[in-house]
Amino acid sequence: MGAQRKIDGIVLSRGSVVGPAILACAERAVAKTTGLCEEERALELTTLDRAVSEATEELRALALRVAGELGADKAEIFESHADILCDDEFRADLARLVADEGYSAASAVRAVSEANAKEMEELEDEYFRARADDFRDIGNRVIERIVKARDDAANHSSERFPSIPSIVVSRALSPGQTVSFHLPNVLAFVVSSGGANSHAAILARSLGIPAMVIPESELSLLSNGTTIALDAAGACLFIDPEPDILSRVERSRADEIRRAERLKALLDLPSETPCGRSIGLYGNGGGMKDLSAIAEAHADGIGLFRTEFLFMEQGGFPDESTQEAYYRRALETMGDKPVIFRLLDIGADKPLPYAPHPRENNPFLGWRGIRWLIDNPDVLIGQIRAMLTASAATRRAVRVMVPMVCSPKEMSVVKNIVDRLIPETGGTAFLGMMVETPAAAMSVRLFQGLSTFISIGSNDLTQYTLAADRENELLGDLYSEFHPGVLSLMRKACADARSCGMETGICGEFAGTPEAAPYLLAMGFDELSMSARSIPSVKEAIRATRIEDARALLDEALALGSSADVRELARAFLKTRGVGA
């Protein structure tokens, strides 16, 4: 055992655990490997050649399809990436690193693509500087092929990853990668990128798997088999923990298990305040797996169905019948409970590999959500028609929610399509808007007649209000929904929506935070939507909070100067009512 080392981190998904580290495949592949023997070099050269050829073919096929579906100009980017992979000098650099210096295929790709990217970044010309990321994208695409070839070989030998209970170490965590893991053996995730409300964090929480982000420089200290103790309460992890730390973490784990058992008892009790106000508790979902978790948590419906998961699982835009079957299944699983489908929300942190997207300086302020959909009407119309057809087939109304709305004009485009398709399909739909931008929060009244409900997307609303990127782990505490400015916007949006007769909900991660419950009750939300796993602890907070007390608490909170104080105020409020102990 080495000397114990403590690393501070940010908790993405709560939970304490001890176990051996295992590097996720991509990390193992690119972990700098040099000095391979002759025999290994030959094998790596073959792997490299195959991966480069496959990536090139993939790019050419993508370019062809995109040119057919969306026009030749949109396909250019994929053609130019394929050309780089065919470039003699690029290929010679890769081969030299492997053959002469004994790099592994993946580490050679990372080294060459990074060197090219750096060279571009140093150029004066804006155009060339923007090309730096092209080299990184190309490198990642080839590395993905290398990793996939290894995964296929491992699957072929029916090896599951991880094969024993382990803490998976990975730079980033994408939905696709996560579902490929053998989850019963994943004790926790340790990553080096992603903020508290990044999609990696949301995913880990919905799976109930502890997760922590640590600095990239520290991540490289972890190797296969290293013992890690993840201490959620202390927001840190220990490498090679000493016995006192091991027993502390084990104790925390036992407490967490006891608490989960206690909360289970709340499942059958109503979500109601002691003064008799009922609040709908809905589930957030994206894949079919989430549906059963939502049903098991006795949710009142689905408050956010992230349809982009269906699109991400496919190699190209899913056709209308595939979509319809997917939406119908969600409606059927929920019986007569409401289901809110969010229209495809891509761009920024949720790219669709097959949907061409120009490079943007500020992707979060760019072509995403409804902006992208309006510019791609075939996708928008196809998705709405599939939802309405599913509605007709199940004789259930669908709720269609529009992401990233800023102006009533955007809602009108969607409403016109819905109105036109209702007679054609025989479906029924209610249209609602996500409140994710300060502009939307401040102007809810302008949407009267266009929107029958609002749902606060607090993850994005927070980042736009505080100008703090939700994915950026460096910002730590700056990004917080408890900021009085963010709370004021939520309060205004909710009050204005109520005064216009719209239903009010919230579906960002804030809804699943017990300390948020008193504030959201005070604002008057009808429905809170969250990961199914959060429902019991939020219900516990609701059942302990009188509306009158919550209103006084909110007034007090809005006069405080820091997000941390606002959160602490609610924590203490709930503690005196026996919640969170």
Site string for ligand PEP, 250-289 (x = CB under 6 A): ----------------------------------------
Nearest to 62 by CA among 74, 52, 51, 50: 74
Please report how close the Cβ of residue 459 comes to Mg ion at its closest, in angstroms: 5
Is 356 a binder of ligand PEP (CB under 6 A)? no
What would the two tokens of residue 224 be? 């296969």
Check if 199 is active-site: yes
Check if 298 is active-site: no
| Beta bridge pairs of residue 19 | 228
Angle 429-302-280 from CA coordinates, rounded to 5°? 105
Nearest to 45 by CA among 97, 112, 113, 115: 97
Is 531 a binder of ligand PEP (CB under 6 A)? no
Residue 468 burial by Cβ neighbours in a 10 Å radius (0-12, 13-18, 19+): middle
Give the number of residues in contact with ligand PEP, rule: CB under 6 A: 10
Is 457 a binder of Mg ion (CB under 5 A)? yes
Residue 404 vs 566, nearer CB to ligand PEP: 404
Please report how close the Cβ of residue 402 comes to Mg ion at its closest, in angstroms: 11
Q: Is residue 532 a contact partner of residue 290, using CB atoms and an 8 Å limit?
A: yes
| Beta bridge pairs of residue 285 | 305
Binder to ligand PEP among 144, 460, 473, 540 (CB under 6 A)? 460
Residue 460 vs 469, nearer CB to ligand PEP: 460
Which residue type does 488 have?
Answer: S
Residue 414 vs 507, nearer CB to ligand PEP: 507
Binding window for ligand PEP (CB under 6 A); candidates: 11-19, 39-47, 262-270, 451-459: 451-459
Q: Is residue 333 a contact partner of residue 326, using CB atoms and an 8 Å limit?
A: no
E strand or H helix that includes residue 170: strand 166-170
Is 306 a binder of ligand PEP (CB under 6 A)? yes
Q: Which residues contact 559 (CB under 8 A, 6 or more apart)?
A: 484
> What is the arrangement of strands in the sheet containing 236-239, beginning at the earlier edge strand?
5-8, 236-239, 227-231, 17-23, 166-170, 186-191, 211-213, 10-13
First to last CA, the chain: 35
Is 469 a binder of ligand PEP (CB under 6 A)? no
Site string for ligand PEP, 479-508 (x = CB under 6 A): ----------------------------xx
Q: State residue 454 phi and psi, 5-degree precision.
A: -120, 155
Please report how close the Cβ of residue 459 comes to ligand PEP at its closest, in angstroms: 3
Is 460 a binder of Mg ion (CB under 5 A)? yes
Binding window for ligand PEP (CB under 6 A); candidates: 89-97, 458-466, 474-482, 540-548: 458-466
The one catalytic residue in 25, 236, 494, 507 is 507
The alpha carbon dihedral of 117, 121, 125, 127 has a sign of: positive
Please report how close the Cβ of residue 482 comes to ligand PEP at its closest, in angstroms: 15
Binder to ligand PEP among 458, 513, 534, 545 (CB under 6 A)? 458
Please report how close the Cβ of residue 529 comes to ligand PEP at its closest, in angstroms: 8
The one catalytic residue in 81, 199, 357, 483 is 199
Residue 344 vs 507, nearer CB to ligand PEP: 507
Which residue type does 501 have?
Answer: G
| Beta bridge pairs of residue 284 | 304
For residues 185 and 27, give the distance between their C-alpha atoms in angstroms, rounded to a whole number: 18
Residue 177 vs 458, nearer CB to ligand PEP: 458
Q: Is residue 239 a contact partner of residue 201, using CB atoms and an 8 Å limit?
A: no
Please report how close the Cβ of residue 364 comes to ligand PEP at its closest, in angstroms: 10
Is 304 a binder of ligand PEP (CB under 6 A)? yes
Residues 494 to 513 in contact with Mg ion, rule: CB under 5 A: none
Binder to ligand PEP among 376, 459, 504, 563 (CB under 6 A)? 459
Nearest to 464 by CA among 435, 498, 422: 435
For residues 229 and 562, give the distance between their C-alpha atoms in angstroms, rounded to a whole number: 31
Q: Is residue 397 a contact partner of residue 327, using CB atoms and an 8 Å limit?
A: no
Nearest to 396 by CA among 301, 310, 306, 323: 301
Residue 203 vs 429, nearer CB to ligand PEP: 203
For residues 372 and 345, give the distance between their C-alpha atoms in angstroms, rounded to a whole number: 8
Please report how close the Cβ of residue 457 comes to Mg ion at its closest, in angstroms: 4
Which residue type does 148 have?
Answer: K
Please report how close the Cβ of residue 463 comes to ligand PEP at its closest, in angstroms: 8
Give the number of residues in contact with Mg ion, rule: CB under 5 A: 3
Contacting residues toward Mg ion, per CB under 5 A: 436, 457, 460
Task: Please list the active-site residues.
Answer: 199, 507
Contacting residues toward ligand PEP, per CB under 6 A: 304, 306, 345, 436, 457-460, 507-508
